[in-house]
Structure 1
């Protein structure tokens, strides 16, 4: 973790990082304790995203259980440990403490067996299913993540309120979306997306198809977004109302059409 201790905090009217020099810059390791005795190097964390409060950290971690590969998202508080007495490295570091897994096995799941008819499956669009963590809204109220597909073979980004659990879909283009970031005013989303490449259209182009196949084929279908080491992502700017009808955002690095486009309405 890059820590601007002594120089990087906002104070005295100066902006964060102003006048920063190598002598005032420190990089500290981050450790997530996932053992009962606080030993070892801690858990493996990935997709780290700092919360807007600069205190909490969101991250993802892989799991392997019963021969199945999985992943969960977590939220914890960063605590600076200048002289740690347990765990490694035994050097000044940040520990992630009071960690919460953003998953409740007792909660409603996206796909379940109909209790009235075991021959049927029920898909719940409102179910909270935080997949790979992607960040937070500018006000810190929502966590963004790759969620369970709302349409078959359609990988999209969702946002969930950290207090209420209310879910909203941020993207709905059939192509594959990965990293996203929300603007400070909450009116825009920037997404790295394969839209325009047609890499996923042969799989996800049929809209409204229930995501039954994604129970077992998500990894295989989403992998077609790449061609070996070649990537097809482009930066897409999407307004706060998201993809809808003929509006699918616009590429930031594409040539414009010379026309002035209306600004999105303020969020309510």
Structure 2
């Protein structure tokens, strides 16, 4: 039943806000209504294996794949929410093969337009919010220089958007821009060559980048923290909300005096 609900709700269409789930459900209901219309008006006829029947057979195969596929796979992400979109894609050309009344066409066009505009408005708002979050996240990247090691830590509930986690790869972006080494990237977590020996590069990371104040989890005050028995001093806080903080290993603080410019990222 859970997989059927995923097909019926199409959560993969929602990206930023819970309100988008209302639009994805409305879209699924519209498709169900179109199928019901074809059945009730006897537009679907079983005569011979024509293009209509072929596409319907493909649709049936996709639905079977959604129901029978594993929920997730090692090294990947969840499959079912993504597979659920394929039956929708095959429905589009299948619907086009039938004759629709004028009222039915207008109804479908009005519903599809309203849902699309609603999605577009929410996506624009979500992308705008995501840009601001990313800009604040990388505002302290100038403090992490080439060959430095760092990790990123956030609260367990730090995900800011519904499905598009815009900050999940921000640490990798900083590493790529500055030539630094991110010790808790995805590849390192899988212990895949050539990242398997990265942990031995330093006993502890040079910098820790925190987001959304994970201090209650890690311990320490706002100006210092302890990670795996090593003390770190805060050398940067982002503006205007102070969500992003950069902590430097204590033995490096005196060796690398830091200023705290609040410049915009390049």
Q: TM-score, normalised by structure 1?
A: 0.25
Greater strand share, structure number: 1
Q: TM-score, normalised by structure 2?
A: 0.25
